[in-house]
């Protein structure tokens, strides 16, 4: 899709009209990482954080946020999701939480933004749950890992 599709005749940003596009199965996977100090990671991994079960909260935050992507990102369409899954795996060696979101929908526009918003919200929730033990928590490497469906075809990120 060219940049011009997102501009009106006067050069102002606008939402793309997808009404004429044929609905297809769209799927996207996004990922991100949250890095903790030793104390915070130990509390997270043993479910001893003062605020409760951070992994469950992160998954729920990701789910809630993805359903409201159009509220976060001004030019996104509201996409009725068929499936959304948030996974959080702990890497003991690197003291990180690896967050992955998979979004799917039958629609006229992709679900990359929904997957990316889900990951971002899940990472922010992990920060919120552990910040009392580590103010230097780092959130990073949030990116699209893969997508399929639609006119532009499939994409898989380099490892």
Phi, psi (rounded to 5 degrees) for 89: -115, 140
Q: Which of 8, 53, 71, 128 is flagged as catalytic?
A: 128
Pairwise CA distance, residues 54 & 125, whole Å = 8
Q: What are 44's two structure tokens?
A: 């997270």
**pLDDT-based confidence at 21, cuts 50/70/90?**
confident
Instruction: With H, G, I as helix, E, B as strand and everything else as coil, classify residue 7.
Output: strand
pLDDT tens readout for residues 83-132: 999 999 999 999 999 999 999 999 888 999 999 999 999 999 999 999 99
**Fold designation for 29-149:** Alpha-Beta Plaits (3.30.70)
Instruction: Encode 137-148: b = buried (16+ Cβ within 10 Å), e = exposed.
Output: bebeebebbbbb
pTM of the predicted model, to two decimals?
0.89
Alpha-carbon distance 21 to 45, whole Å? Answer: 45
Is 128 among the residues known to form the active site?
yes
């Amino acid at each position: 899709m060219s940049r011009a599709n997102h501009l009106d005749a006067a050069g102002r940003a606008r939402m793309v009209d997808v009404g004429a596009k044929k609905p297809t199965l769209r799927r996207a996977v996004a990922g991100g990482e949250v890095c903790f100090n030793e104390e915070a990671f130990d509390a997270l991994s043993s479910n001893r954080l003062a605020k409760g079960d951070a992994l469950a909260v992160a998954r729920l935050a990701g789910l809630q946020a993805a359903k409201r992507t159009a509220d976060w990102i001004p030019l996104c369409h509201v996409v009725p999701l068929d499936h959304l899954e948030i996974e959080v795996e702990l890497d003991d060696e690197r003291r990180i939480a690896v967050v992955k979101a998979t979004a799917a929908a039958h629609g006229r526009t992709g679900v990359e933004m929904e997957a990316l918003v889900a990951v971002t919200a899940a990472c922010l929730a992990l920060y919120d749950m552990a910040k009392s033990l580590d103010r230097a928590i780092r959130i990073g490497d949030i990116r699209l890992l893969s997508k399929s469906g639609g006119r532009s075809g499939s994409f898989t990120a380099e490892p």
